Structure 1
């Protein structure tokens, strides 16, 4: 299982190829590709690359799926004995990223969709030979 820990917008995420994650709003249009270069750790099978603080030559390639808003959080402030009450709501602006690949020194980790496609191609080759 391949995964990486990346930092974006002051937060750290454990990301895997083929999965999507909600991060703080990014100024990128939907369906565009973005490269996350603040990679703190890369785990690829048996090898682990730990950065100090960043892993050199490591990037995570992601596609922006959509922009959305998070769940509403209610903020309620009250001062006792003063008849002061204040109720506010907040919805965080988010961007949904689909992780395409994790690159470490030019080599790319396979995404979740690629092994299935490779098996299908291999099956077609076996059928055509028979």
Structure 2
């Protein structure tokens, strides 16, 4: 059984016991997160496509940890102008372990 969920403006294909990194969600390690934004569910026999979400379907996950992604370096330069700007960014992420998928 697998499902396609939407969180943080992105879509993820998940199965039971998968570990995924998503945009930051509120909570601490060990918390249970319910994701109701389920776009597609397939249980092996029947596939259900939402319009836009599958009614009654949900995915349960355990919050494993909060972390930060690798640093991305932004470097701007204009030739012959002595104009250089260097900036860095690290995105906050949440690591989830999928524990259960409930179809409609």
Aligned residue in 2 for 1:42? 41
Higher helix share: 1
Deviations 1:77-123 (A, max 9, x none): 11122111111111110000000010013xxxxxxxxxxxxxxxxxx
Larger Rg: 1
Deviations 1:44-95 (A, max 9, x none): 1121000000000000000000000111111111112211111111111000
CA distance in 1, matches of 2:74, 2:2: 36
Q: Which runs of 5+ in 1 are unaligned?
A: 106-130
SS of the residue 1:40 aligns to: strand
Higher strand share: 2
Bigger relative CO (Cα 8 Å, ≥ 6 apart): 2
SS of the residue 2:16 aligns to: coil
Aligned residue in 2 for 1:3? 2
SS of the residue 1:75 aligns to: strand
Aligned residue in 2 for 1:32? 31
CA distance in 1, matches of 2:103, 2:45: 14
